[in-house]
Structure 1
């Protein structure tokens, strides 16, 4: 059984690289082991059953073996946002960097914030696969845009056939990914229910619905402000003293805003309440950019509410049947 936040008494900082993991248990001493399950299991065995919290950074997948071993040994872990750790270190005015130093900073970061750090939990295999498929689709779509731009370049005549061939190949791969994503969602009762609710929101189509399911898996468990902030459409104040600047929408998960913008454009051109709200904002002399951002915010908040209500209803039916 994993220790609760209030029971944590020591912090283990772990700096992960492709081949090695450097451990620091809060003291100056550090040890480096191979980033392999057996080596990590041997190094972490002494911490099993203790009130220790392990803190590592997200490294694009190199931390997966470590997190798997920590889960096996029932050692609670936090996978930290590298940007937050970097800002934390910078607040002390420190610049030196190597694996042992980074492990010590991770341990210190965990000591200062242990009670507020969320504990890492393994992702559902279906959800994890969906995230990978959607991320790959985003990569291929970006490549397709690049090839379109290259084809329009004035000096591309000599290589136009090669570009067209690559463009067609990208199209095939994107279509195959779309089919695989649709199949995956259709085979999961929970994902299918969520996707159905998302598709009922004006402007949300077959591209945005899987994107929301993959990038914001918390959808349906958040309040209006939280979901708007995650989507990058929450207006943040920028005031100081007597100065009151225009509020701006910044931050959030970067994949969502461009897709929400397209969804808002589609919704505003249709016959639905969002189109009515958009016209009302324009009539009130709001700039189009501000009005579209407001519609983007409405789309994500409506989507969150519909998913929440559908999941609650499904759970209630499940309790009755049980």
Structure 2
């Protein structure tokens, strides 16, 4: 009789991978090429439903890539959700071995979908965007400091530094556009997204690398991934204020910037926002609703492989 597929939990650290499954028990391998070969050889002996690991700032990427390359579905999940699940089950102790076991129980309950492998272009694009965000933050910080300097030589040095950072940002923007246009899939998504009034280079690049599921899910699922699905707060006769939370912060930031422009210059979003204004909705409610509306439009366009049209 064929053994039932087993979920595998991996607690990831910089040097080690703590692994647990019901059939193999708990064991540890190095977070290295040799250690991953050992892990894959062990998993080949059982029927695997999937492997689940937490996002750890990049230390999980090598394991994820190796498992997916060998045909083993691997999911990278939100650590906060796993911790909340553990607390909900009464498991307050926390060790690497326990965390791997909790991941197995979490996976059996949630059955997370495999995390798709990022293409080489998407992976590099993500790195460039992260570096660009640091540059932009530095420009913002230095510009804010500039007005407080009294010494002229310091003002000149600070101004020169800001000018240099802006040149670096411009160079990164050109590199981002060239990278996108060199990849057929990315270039197609880029053309569709940027055809929408309000969505520019950085919005498109962010959605391409941070939301690869765009165009493959329904509108509710994609809104939930982006953190734009309002959660009800109700109990008995009490009807609480619905608010958004969770999701992918980088995607939300990009959509926020696009929606701010869109409610002024995108005919569909402008009319949509004006209806909410007429109902005396607060600005934050209007902008979040516009973000979700824009995301829904982009999702439908990518699913149908269609460019923007007003009608």
1:200-239 equivalent positions in 2, closer than 5 A: 200-239=195-234
Q: Is 1:295 equivalent to 2:286 in the alignment?
A: no
- CA–CA separation in structure 2 for the residues paired with 1:97 and 1:166: 46
What is the TM-score when the length of structure 2 is the normalising length? Answer: 0.85
Identify if the C-alpha distance between structure 1 residues 95 and 168 changes in structure 2 by more than 3 Å, giving closer, same or farther: farther
SS in 1 for 2:305: helix
**Root-mean-square deviation over aligned CA pairs:** 2.9
Q: Is 1:135 equivalent to 2:130 in the alignment?
A: yes
SS in 1 for 2:19: strand
Q: Is 1:240 equivalent to 2:230 in the alignment?
A: no
Q: Is 1:281 equivalent to 2:255 in the alignment?
A: no
Q: Is 1:63 equivalent to 2:63 in the alignment?
A: no
Identify if the C-alpha distance between structure 1 residues 218 and 68 changes in structure 2 by more than 3 Å, giving closer, same or farther: closer
Deviations 1:249-270 (A, max 9, x none): 3332112333323322322323
Do 1:199 and 1:209's aligned partners in 2 also have CA atoms closer than 8 Å? yes
What is the TM-score when the length of structure 1 is the normalising length? Answer: 0.82
Count of residue pairs brought into register by the alignment: 305
Do 1:15 and 1:99's aligned partners in 2 also have CA atoms closer than 8 Å? yes
Counterpart position of 1:26: 22
Deviation, structure 1 residue 51 = 0.5
Do 1:232 and 1:252's aligned partners in 2 also have CA atoms closer than 8 Å? yes
Deviations 1:225-276 (A, max 9, x none): 2233333333332221111123223332112333323322322323723223
Deviation, structure 1 residue 100 = 2.5
Q: Is 1:90 equivalent to 2:87 in the alignment?
A: yes
Do 1:15 and 1:23's aligned partners in 2 also have CA atoms closer than 8 Å? yes
Deviation, structure 1 residue 179 = 0.8
Identify if the C-alpha distance between structure 1 residues 107 and 224 changes in structure 2 by more than 3 Å, giving closer, same or farther: closer
- CA–CA separation in structure 2 for the residues paired with 1:111 and 1:215: 26
SS in 2 for 1:13: strand
Gaps of 5+ in 1: 1-5, 313-322
Counterpart position of 1:9: 5
Q: Is 1:46 equivalent to 2:42 in the alignment?
A: yes
Between 123-132 and 280-289, report the one with greater CA deviation.
280-289
- CA–CA separation in structure 2 for the residues paired with 1:73 and 1:195: 30
SS in 1 for 2:58: coil
Deviation, structure 1 residue 159 = 4.6
SS in 1 for 2:52: strand
Q: Is 1:172 equivalent to 2:164 in the alignment?
A: no
Counterpart position of 2:299: 304
1:77-156 equivalent positions in 2, closer than 5 A: 77-113=74-110, 116-153=111-148
Between 183-192 and 153-162, report the one with greater CA deviation.
153-162
- CA–CA separation in structure 1 for the residues paired with 2:142 and 2:4: 52
Deviation, structure 1 residue 65 = 2.6
